Structure 1
Amino acid sequence: MKTTDIIRRAGRNLRRAKMRTLLTSIAIAVGGFAIMASLMAGEGARQYIDRLISSNIDAKAVFVVKDKRLIGAQSGQQADLREYNPDSINRYGNDYKALTQKDIDKLAARTDLEKVRPVYQLQPKYVSFAAKKDKKYSSDVSVFDGALAAEVVAGKQLGKGTELAAGEAVIPESHAETLGQSPAQMVGKQLTVTVVQTPQKIDEATLGQVFAEKGQAGVNELINGKELHKTFTIAAVTRKSADQTQAMRGIGINAKVARELSDYSTKGTSQYQKYMSATAVAKQDAEAAKKSLEHDGYAAATAKDLQQTLFRFVDILQAIVLCFGALALIVSIFGIVNTQYISVLERTQQIGLMKALGASRRDIGRLFRYEAAWVGLLGGALGVLGAWGAGVALNPVISEKLHFGDHKLLVFVPEHAAAVVAGLMLVAIIAGWLPSRKAAKLDPIEALRTE
Structure 2
Amino acid sequence: MRTLDIVARASRNLRRAKMRTFLTSVAIAVGGFAITASLMAGEGARQYVSRVVSGNIDPKGLVITKSDENFTTGSGRKLHEYDPDSGIYNGHNFKAVTDQELQRLRSRKDLKNVEPMYQVQPKYMTFSAKPDKKYVSETVMRDSAIRLEAAAGKTLEKGLQLKDGEAAIPDDYAESLGVSAQSLIGSKITLRVEQIPQRISNDEIAKVYAERGEEGVRKITEPKIMDKNFTIVSVVKKTPDQTGNISRTYISPDSAKELSEFSTLGTDQYKKYITIMATAADGKNPEDVKQKLKSEGLNVMTANDIQGMLFIFVNLLQSIVLGFGVLALVVSIFGIVNTQYISVLERTQQIGLMKALGASRRDIGRLFRYEAAWVGFLGGTLGVIGAWFTGSMLNPWISKTIGFGNYDLLVFQPIAGVSVIALLIVVAIIAGFLPSRKAAKLDPIEALRTE
- Please name the residue that 1:170 is paired with: 168
1:247 equivalent to 2:264? Answer no
Normalised TM-score (structure 2): 0.96
TM-superposed deviation, 1:238: 0.7
Paired residue type of 2:360? S
Q: Deviations over 1:387-413 (max 9, x none)?
A: 000110011111111111111111111
Q: Aligned partners of 2:395, 2:211: CA distance in 1, in Å?
A: 72
> Higher mean Cα deviation, 31-40 or 319-328?
319-328
- Please name the residue that 1:416 is paired with: 416
TM-superposed deviation, 1:84: 3.8
TM-superposed deviation, 1:103: 1.2
Alignment of 1:65-144 (within 5 A): 65-71=65-71, 77-79=77-79, 82-144=80-142
Q: Aligned partners of 1:128, 1:218: CA distance in 2, in Å?
A: 29
Normalised TM-score (structure 1): 0.96
Local SS of the residue matching 2:377:
helix
Paired residue type of 2:317? L
Q: Aligned partners of 2:353, 2:236: CA distance in 1, in Å?
A: 80
- Please name the residue that 1:441 is paired with: 441
- Please name the residue that 1:324 is paired with: 324
Q: Aligned partners of 2:56, 2:181: CA distance in 1, in Å?
A: 23
Q: Aligned partners of 2:188, 2:280: CA distance in 1, in Å?
A: 36
Q: Aligned partners of 1:9, 1:213: CA distance in 2, in Å?
A: 111
Q: CA RMSD in A?
A: 1.9
Q: Deviations over 1:353-401 (max 9, x none)?
A: 1111111111111111100000000000000000000110011111111
1:201 equivalent to 2:199? Answer yes
Aligned partner of 2:225 among 224, 227, 238: 227
Paired residue type of 2:366? R
Segments of 5+ residues of structure 1 without an aligned counterpart are none
Relative to structure 1, the CA distance from residue 296 to residue 236 in structure 2 (aligned partners, 3 Å threshold; closer, same or farther) is same
Q: Is the 8 A contact 1:118 1:275 kept in 2?
A: yes
Q: Is the 8 A contact 2:381 2:421 kept in 1?
A: yes
Q: Aligned partners of 1:252, 1:268: CA distance in 2, in Å?
A: 26
Alignment of 1:268-347 (within 5 A): 268-283=266-281, 284-347=284-347
Relative to structure 1, the CA distance from residue 180 to residue 223 in structure 2 (aligned partners, 3 Å threshold; closer, same or farther) is same
TM-superposed deviation, 1:137: 1.6
Q: Aligned partners of 1:26, 1:42: CA distance in 2, in Å?
A: 24
Local SS of the residue matching 2:240:
coil
Relative to structure 1, the CA distance from residue 225 to residue 73 in structure 2 (aligned partners, 3 Å threshold; closer, same or farther) is closer
Relative to structure 1, the CA distance from residue 361 to residue 203 in structure 2 (aligned partners, 3 Å threshold; closer, same or farther) is closer
Local SS of the residue matching 1:200:
coil
Q: Aligned partners of 1:97, 1:341: CA distance in 2, in Å?
A: 67
Q: Aligned partners of 1:392, 1:126: CA distance in 2, in Å?
A: 46
Q: Is the 8 A contact 1:71 1:300 kept in 2?
A: no
Relative to structure 1, the CA distance from residue 161 to residue 93 in structure 2 (aligned partners, 3 Å threshold; closer, same or farther) is closer
- Please name the residue that 2:234 is paired with: 236
TM-superposed deviation, 1:59: 0.6
Q: Aligned partners of 1:301, 1:138: CA distance in 2, in Å?
A: 31
Local SS of the residue matching 2:373:
helix
Relative to structure 1, the CA distance from residue 92 to residue 217 in structure 2 (aligned partners, 3 Å threshold; closer, same or farther) is same
- Please name the residue that 1:161 is paired with: 159
Relative to structure 1, the CA distance from residue 161 to residue 218 in structure 2 (aligned partners, 3 Å threshold; closer, same or farther) is farther
Paired residue type of 2:386? G
Q: Aligned partners of 2:128, 2:72: CA distance in 1, in Å?
A: 43
TM-superposed deviation, 1:246: 4.7
Q: Aligned partners of 2:217, 2:173: CA distance in 1, in Å?
A: 37
TM-superposed deviation, 1:217: 4.9
- Please name the residue that 1:26 is paired with: 26
> Higher mean Cα deviation, 93-102 or 312-321?
93-102
Segments of 5+ residues of structure 2 without an aligned counterpart are none
Q: Deviations over 1:293-351 (max 9, x none)?
A: 11011101111111111111111111111111111111111111111111111111111
Q: Aligned partners of 1:292, 1:423: CA distance in 2, in Å?
A: 45
Q: Deviations over 1:92-143 (max 9, x none)?
A: 4442211111111111111111111111111112211111222222121111
Q: Aligned partners of 2:123, 2:238: CA distance in 1, in Å?
A: 26
Local SS of the residue matching 1:117:
strand
Relative to structure 1, the CA distance from residue 74 to residue 206 in structure 2 (aligned partners, 3 Å threshold; closer, same or farther) is closer
Paired residue type of 1:8? A
Relative to structure 1, the CA distance from residue 213 to residue 281 in structure 2 (aligned partners, 3 Å threshold; closer, same or farther) is farther
Local SS of the residue matching 1:297:
coil
Q: Deviations over 1:273-300 (max 9, x none)?
A: 1111111111121111111111011101
> Higher mean Cα deviation, 377-386 or 243-252?
243-252
Q: Aligned partners of 2:29, 2:49: CA distance in 1, in Å?
A: 30
Q: Aligned partners of 2:73, 2:201: CA distance in 1, in Å?
A: 45
- Please name the residue that 2:391 is paired with: 391
Paired residue type of 2:423? G
Q: Aligned partners of 1:222, 1:74: CA distance in 2, in Å?
A: 35
Q: Is the 8 A contact 2:199 2:266 kept in 1?
A: no
Local SS of the residue matching 2:415:
helix
Paired residue type of 1:418? V
- Please name the residue that 1:450 is paired with: 450
Local SS of the residue matching 1:43:
helix
Which portions of structure 1, spanning 4 or more consecutive aligned residues, are displaced by more than 3 angstroms? 72-77, 91-94, 203-219
Paired residue type of 2:174? A
> Higher mean Cα deviation, 299-308 or 68-77?
68-77
- Please name the residue that 1:150 is paired with: 148
Local SS of the residue matching 2:243:
coil
